[in-house]
């Protein structure tokens, strides 16, 4: 006979595998006894977000619900179900984290401002949120009912294995392939494979050089040469396609690196696509995602490549991009890069055509353009998020570079 702890573990494993949601059992002293899942909070974020499960207040005596929906200021949700042994509360089974709305960049920016986080966390927060399951309210309600039923019937679980089997049915084709037909097909296939590999190398070169026009033309031609990949994992063609997409993601990452894209951008994009590949649930979805990877990597190289700059100016631009929401000046940057302010100023102006102050200001205003799309953010919040402490000065600089105020820009464009 299974004891009660074994029954809880069996239920947690079943729930995790059946629903594909992170599942944990937290006892009445708020100690995590069991945990099944794959959505670990990135170390960079854990300092800010904390341990979700310890913040759910699961042993609140005023909470009389058997199943409870939990949410926090980060837009992350959980479901908990109380577990009783002989009418005594012994802990809760917790499902989550999950999301109820798509994690757009506007949502991430609003959460950063609402929780007083640094704007530099935007990319890693987006990656983490993209990895979380996105559920509808209807699906959440069904899961809650399922969880209520299964936790109310823990006592009925036995250690006996169910008698489960399978029956296979086969159909035999009567058609015959003649040798000359097989030879002709093999020659055609060989020619198509050689053509495809030649085209793929050209596509990777287009990505490396940021040549968007060439890329679109090659992708159009590639669709005419499509050869269904062999199913390297028997009976699971979707898994086969996903594995090939992971390989493609790696090839594009290396092409972008050769094209001078900074490793921070590459890592962010690669991680984002790796998560999306795993979450895609159809072959057509994988095909569409592959095309999006080609385009996004190519656009990134064209827009952000530092290939034509010297190592010193690359490091300077990277430092500015990473610390755009912090206080920045020629003196601060030169100190961090162990070079004299005068030498850095001279070299930066020579290679970019701008002073460091002009470049910082332009980057801050460009970053504010994205934030202005989010109407939940005030102009003051946006100014602070991109490194301006004075809202009036922010408005003055914005008007100088864009010809209108931030408020007017928002009304006109969004």
289 with 321, same domain: the answer is no
Does some domain include residue 182?
Answer: no
Buried b or exposed e, range 22-51, using 16+ CB within 10 angstroms: bbbbbbeeeeeebeeeeeebeeebeeebee
Task: Pick the closest to residue 83 from 70, 94, 95 (CA basis).
Answer: 94
CATH number, domain of 323, equals: 1.10.10.60
96, 60 Cβ separation under 8 angstroms? no
Whole-number pLDDT of residue 116: 84
Report d(CA 287, CA 293) in Å as an integer: 10
- For β-strands 32-36 and 77-85, DSSP reports them as unpaired
| Number of domains the chain is built from | 3
30, 54 Cβ separation under 8 angstroms? yes
Does some domain include residue 172?
Answer: no
103 with 210, same domain: the answer is no
Bridge partners (DSSP) listed for residue 81: 67, 93
Which of residues 276, 302, 328 is at a domain's end?
Answer: 302
Does some domain include residue 340?
Answer: yes
147 with 29, same domain: the answer is yes
Read off the pTM.
0.55
Helices (H), 118-178: 122-131, 137-152
Residue-wise pLDDT tens digits, 253-291: 999 999 988 777 788 788 888 888 988 878 888 888 999
Which of residues 245, 268, 302 is at a domain's end?
Answer: 302
Please state, as a whole number, how many other Cβ atoms lie within 10 Å of the Cβ of residue 296. Answer: 16
339 with 298, same domain: the answer is no
1 pLDDT band, cuts 50/70/90, is very low
Report d(CA 151, CA 330) in Å as an integer: 62
Q: Would you say residue 224 has pLDDT above 80?
A: no
Helices (H), 280-374: 283-304, 311-322, 330-336, 341-352, 356-372
DSSP state of 310: -
42, 272 Cβ separation under 8 angstroms? no
Task: Pick the closest to residue 83 from 67, 62, 97, 63 (CA basis).
Answer: 67
Report d(CA 414, CA 226) in Å as an integer: 40
Note if the bond before 278 is cis, omega within 30 degrees. Answer: no
Report d(CA 352, CA 358) in Å as an integer: 10
Residue-wise pLDDT tens digits, 107-163: 888 898 888 888 778 888 888 888 888 888 889 999 999 999 999 888 777 666 667
298 with 315, same domain: the answer is no
Q: Which domain holds residue 113?
A: 4-156
Whole-number pLDDT of residue 330: 95
Bridge partners (DSSP) listed for residue 36: 23
Residue-wise pLDDT tens digits, 344-377: 999 999 999 999 999 999 989 988 987 888 888 8
Which tokens in the block code for residue 278? Answer: 């795993």
Does some domain include residue 357?
Answer: yes
H-run or E-run covering 282: none
- For β-strands 32-36 and 67-71, DSSP reports them as unpaired
């Amino acid at each position: 006979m299974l004891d009660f702890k074994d029954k809880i573990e069996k239920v947690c494993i079943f729930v995790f595998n059946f629903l594909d949601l992170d599942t944990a059992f937290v006892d009445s002293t708020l100690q995590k006894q069991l945990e099944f899942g794959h959505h670990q909070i990135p170390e960079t974020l854990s300092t800010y977000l904390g341990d979700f499960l310890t913040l759910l207040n699961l042993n609140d005596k005023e909470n009389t619900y058997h199943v409870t929906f939990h949410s926090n200021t980060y837009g992350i949700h959980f479901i908990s179900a109380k577990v009783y042994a002989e009418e005594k509360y012994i802990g809760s089974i917790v499902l989550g984290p999950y999301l109820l709305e798509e994690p757009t960049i506007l949502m991430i920016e609003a959460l950063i401002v609402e929780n007083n986080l640094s704007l530099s966390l935007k990319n890693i927060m987006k990656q983490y949120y993209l990895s979380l399951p996105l559920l509808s309210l209807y699906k959440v309600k069904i899961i809650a009912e399922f969880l209520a039923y299964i936790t109310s019937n823990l006592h009925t679980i036995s250690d006996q294995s169910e008698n489960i089997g399978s029956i296979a049915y086969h159909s035999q084709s009567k058609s015959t392939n003649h040798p000359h037909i097989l030879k002709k097909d093999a020659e055609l296939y060989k020619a198509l494979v050689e053509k495809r590999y030649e085209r793929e190398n050209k596509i990777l070169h287009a990505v490396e050089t940021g040549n968007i026009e060439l890329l679109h033309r090659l992708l159009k031609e590639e669709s005419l040469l499509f050869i269904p990949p062999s199913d390297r994992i028997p009976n699971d063609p979707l898994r086969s396609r996903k594995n090939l997409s992971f390989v493609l993601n790696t090839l594009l990452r290396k092409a972008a690196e050769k094209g001078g894209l900074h490793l921070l951008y590459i890592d962010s994009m690669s991680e984002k696509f790796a998560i999306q590949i795993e979450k895609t649930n159809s072959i057509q979805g994988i095909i569409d995602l592959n095309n999006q990877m080609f385009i996004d990597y190519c656009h990134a190289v064209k827009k952000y490549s530092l290939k034509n700059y010297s190592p010193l100016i690359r490091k300077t631009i990277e430092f500015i991009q990473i610390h755009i929401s912090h206080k920045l000046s020629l003196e601060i940057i030169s100190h961090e890069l162990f070079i004299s302010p005068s030498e850095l100023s001279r070299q930066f102006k020579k290679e970019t055509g701008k002073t460091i102050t002009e470049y910082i200001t332009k980057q801050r205003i460009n970053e504010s353009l994205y934030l202005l799309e989010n109407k939940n953010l005030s102009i003051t919040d946006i100014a602070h998020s991109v490194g301006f402490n004075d809202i009036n000065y922010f408005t003055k600089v914005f008007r100088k570079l864009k010809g209108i105020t931030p408020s007017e820009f928002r009304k006109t464009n969004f």
